Chain A
Amino acid sequence: MNVEYFSEGLECLMYCGRKLSPEQRILIENSLIVLLQENRFSGMYFWGRITATKNDYYIAFGYTNDCLKDRKYFYSLDQYQWQLLPFVQSPKIFQATILAPDPFVGDPSLQTYVKLDPTFNIVDNQVVSISRPEVIKLKEEERLAAIVFIISEESAICPRGALYKMVDGRVIPNQMFRGLNDLQIDNLSYYQLYRLPRNDLKTNLSKRSDYNYAIDFLDTIDGVIPLGQAFSLNMQRNERIAIIKSCVWLGMTFFHKLNSRKHGFLYLGDGRKNFDLLFMY
């Protein structure tokens, strides 16, 4: 959620039942503005909170040039000082993050050991061999970085037209964006995933007849698997605000105001994926 309209955005996101206490709000808003200034970012966003047993993690991100590619993530325990989240590349860490059974503790330097799932070697419907489950050493800071990355990849949303791809390939927020109108606002195909597209450009463009190269390069959320079950859309406040909640990452909420450029997402949760989703419809 953009820091520009921080408290207004929080009000809109209250439909998930949680928000920040006044102290947290003031601290975060102002410390993020300072962070924006110090890093010379052109945009600063509050990402959310991950509940931990001792201290909660607050996450924010900013960008200078490209709002998809060079996002920099920060975390904070006291909502005052922000530290850069490490960049995680190892797939093992991601795997361990998804499987880690314990909740976050709130100590970034804490080391835990996570047992990965055993891998099965299957040939012709027959299990040929089973490898022993691997044990991975996981630092909480890395785990946090990985979970933040996964959650924002899978469930961060923006309305169609909010991001604009420039001729040189950079993606920036669209200054001309005026919001979805009342015919578009309750249609999931008008919302896009806030990440670098994974689908082919042609696939994304061919989804709609009125495609626009600069806008429709992102993946839309109506194609997220499981189809039609990954997000739930509600209209609130006299049907003027669209609220989209992710069913995969419970706690991820997105709002968009009708005919206004204001939109944003926020994650307030414990960083746990909902693996039961397919059984829950």
Chain B
Amino acid sequence: MDNDFASCQNFSNGSSTSVHSELPPCTKTKKDNNQDKKSEHGSSPQCSNIITSSTTSSSTTISLGALHSDTQCQKAAEHEPPHIGYELSVAKSVLQQYSTLSGDNLFDHLSDIVKRVVDERPPNVIDFFEEFSRNVREQKFHVPERFPPNGVFADSRMFRPAKKILHSIKLPHNIEGIDFGGEEDLPSEEAFTYGDGDLRIDLDDSMRLFVTFNERVEQLQFFWNQCGFSISKDDIFQLASSINRLQTHPSIMQCRFWGCINGLKGSYYIVEASLTREELNSRMAMMEEEMREKQLPFKMRKNQEQKPLPTHIGPELTPGVYGWETYALEDLEKMTPKAEPVPLAEEIEFYDIPPENVGLGCNRYSYFVVNCLYNDWIELPIVTPRQIVVSRQIKKFFTGDLEADVVSYPCFPGKEKHYLRAMIARITAGTHIAPQGYYRRMTKKEKNLFDGINLDEEEEVEEEDNYNEGEEEEIQDNDVMLMKNERFEIEPLSSLATPVAWVHCRPNILNQGRVVWYDEEKARKEREKMLALYIKSRLLEEMEEEIEEEEAEGEEEGEEEEMLEGFTHPETGPDILSSCASDMSRECAFPWLVRFTSRYTNQKERLLVLQSNVWPGAFTFVFENTCESVYLGWGHKFCQRNIPFKHLAIVQEEFPHQADDFIEATDPTLEDELAYKNWLLNKQKRDVSIGEDINEYDADDLDDIYDNDDNDD
């Protein structure tokens, strides 16, 4: 403080040559602190001028150099050598020698340190003296007064996120006035559009029955806090408001916070949402079309595409007309060469089990993720069985970038967003649990209502269903949406403190990667049949013959075969609503941990927490009527030691061959080539001499040879 003040003074005076053995009166009025010191030092008049000058010296560096020598001369003149004042000034001059490197001097530094120690009184400063001294030196040039405030100003780190958050909140201006105005207007508008409104309300009502998600994040946060897991307090408000933003989207029926998966560079906040019926239907239509196309046997798809022709006409590819040599070059270029098409790498058909439709099985809910809560939600793609199957064989860190590649073996079909989606599906299937009786299956009536079937058609459809799919009903059963049981009785928590009392409330995913088993064998047969039919029809088109009778016979045979062979046992897994006690895992002996939030003190209001050991980070809590599952973790399944990664396949041989297939020969040397050329020339000469009739022909031949050479180059 003193220093700065002194420096200010210097600047104001314009010249620092005057030694401030006493401070001018104006300073005393300004600084009490300064004054105090002054008075302290006043007791020892000998030292007073030294200390005051030190305060100036620390700030003015160059001017003082001159000044210092002046004072010394003066003092020398005043006092004889053995004098305390003289000794002091000598010592001071030693201390005040300027460093040639930094331009600093020890005297200033020491006085700065002393001042800082006296001002700030740091504890145990002697222990950290070096560090402290370093600090003082560092900060010497960071005193805010030294720089004009608008000299250099770098953006603060916090600035950008702060700006983004503000931007995401987007307050409507003049909220009160407009809002109230709007409300007042509302009744009249309603009166006009009552008819429409009525319809809409009707639709909404039918779906409202099926809202089972608890989307009130801030309320849940309270419970999570009690349980000892949660996301950060600051984030929860933002999460609530951004979920609210999502919820108001017209195509979303209900949504809930699913959890948070850590990534290396950023974590994903995930929201589970179910879409409205209209949205589902439109998506389903799109998806079905796409699937139908994909279901087509590969060759059928491939045949519809044009195969590329060779791009240029070389000597070995003759254009499609006999005697083409006579045509002009321009015409030749237009001709299609009569050549074998360019051999392309032949794609082998790779058949995937089709994914479940939007709104069914693994794809029943759609998931929205975001890295930072102030960004917009991004919807994850649907999950395919193959992705689920492969994700079981690999273990990767999430990077926090949805478009990042997943580098793994076996190769994961998709980007990180697909991997994330597959992991979400698996975690959801494994860890969403509820006390027994908390959820119930839908009744038939509700089911129909949910599926959007009108009441009139209902009975017929039901009957048809019964007749047609009577056998499959057992399998279908797993893929249902559960309803909250209205008659759920609140049980004492102590009776729930065992996995026996808990059931899974999301359908199990089969090894196949689907919730509902898909008969691969049958599908394969069907595709073969389709392909056979297709090829036959192509043949028919080309040959236009009538072998229809035979065909019919063939088909019948095929069907019979299918009946015999195609019977495979559907894969089964644990049912939905099966008990958690029967969870089995080779790796994990104790799949569930049961904990009370309060063991000793708060018996009345304690919560029960079940945490999954198979998916570390998955928690479910229950308190009276509230039961929620959430996942906060890395997205890795538990493994005892390390996961058995698949070995790389053995390197394939490039070309299966015998020893005799290739005979090595030495390349011709330059001499050999020259000799060959000479031989050719000689031969030509000889031909010319033999007869002139064949001359033209030979010339053509030679041309061809040269052409060939050119092309090879």
Contact = CB atoms under 8 A, between A and B. Distances in A.
B and A form one assembly? yes
B298 interface: no
6 contacts: A15-B267, A19-B229, A56-B595, A101-B640, A212-B131, A276-B639
B123 interface: yes
Interface residues of A, number: 50
Interface of B: 122-124, 127-128, 130-132, 134-135, 156-158, 160-162, 165, 225-234, 260, 262, 264-267, 394-397, 408, 589-590, 593, 595, 597-602, 613, 616-617, 632-634, 636, 639-643, 645
A23 B599 contact: yes
A232 B265 contact: yes
B233 A11 contact: yes
B157 A16 contact: no
B128 A175 contact: yes
Q: Which 4 A-B pairs have the closest CB atoms?
A: A17-B632, A21-B228, A275-B642, A232-B264
Contacts of A232: 264-265, 397
A60 to B, nearest CB: 17
Contacts of A279: 394-396, 408, 645
A20 B228 CA distance: 4
Contact of B643 (A16, A102, A276): A276
A128 interface: no
Interface stretch (A33-41, A68-76, A216-224, A234-242): A234-242
Contacts of A22: 225-226, 597-598
Nearest to A253: B262
Nearest to A241: B232
B547 to A, nearest CB: 57
B158 A238 contact: yes
Given A176-B128, A232-B265, A275-B641, A19 B230 contact: yes
Contact of A175 (B122, B229, B262, B595): B122
A18 B597 contact: no
B633 A182 contact: no
Contacts of A172: 127
Nearest to A166: B127
A204 interface: no
A176 B602 contact: no
Contacts of B601: 23
B616 to A, nearest CB: 7
A247 B396 CA distance: 11
Interface in A240-281: 240, 245, 247, 250, 258, 269-270, 275-276, 279-281
A172 B225 CA distance: 34
Given A101-B640, A103-B590, A16 B396 contact: no
Given A18-B617, A20-B228, 13 more contacts: A15-B267, A17-B260, A19-B230, A22-B225, A23-B597, A23-B602, A78-B599, A78-B600, A99-B641, A178-B135, A238-B161, A250-B616, A250-B636
A21 B598 contact: yes
Contact of B598 (A23, A238, A269, A270): A23
B392 to A, nearest CB: 14
A164 to B, nearest CB: 6
Contact of A240 (B158, B595, B634, B636): B158
A56 B597 CA distance: 13
Contacts of A237: 232, 234
Among A182, A212, A238, max chain B CB count under 10 A is at A238
Nearest to A20: B228
Contacts of B267: 15, 234
A247 B130 CA distance: 36
A53 interface: yes
Contacts of A245: 262
A265 to B, nearest CB: 16
Given A240-B158, A279-B395, A15 B232 contact: yes
A229 B598 CA distance: 38
Given A103-B590, A175-B122, A238-B161, A17 B229 contact: yes
Nearest to A281: B397
B646 to A, nearest CB: 11
Contacts of B225: 22
Contacts of B395: 276, 279-280
A180 B161 CA distance: 20
Interface string A78-118: 10000000000000000000010111000000000000000
A84 to B, nearest CB: 23
A239 to B, nearest CB: 5
Contacts of A178: 135
A24 interface: yes
Nearest to A247: B397
A178 B15 CA distance: 38
B158 A103 contact: no
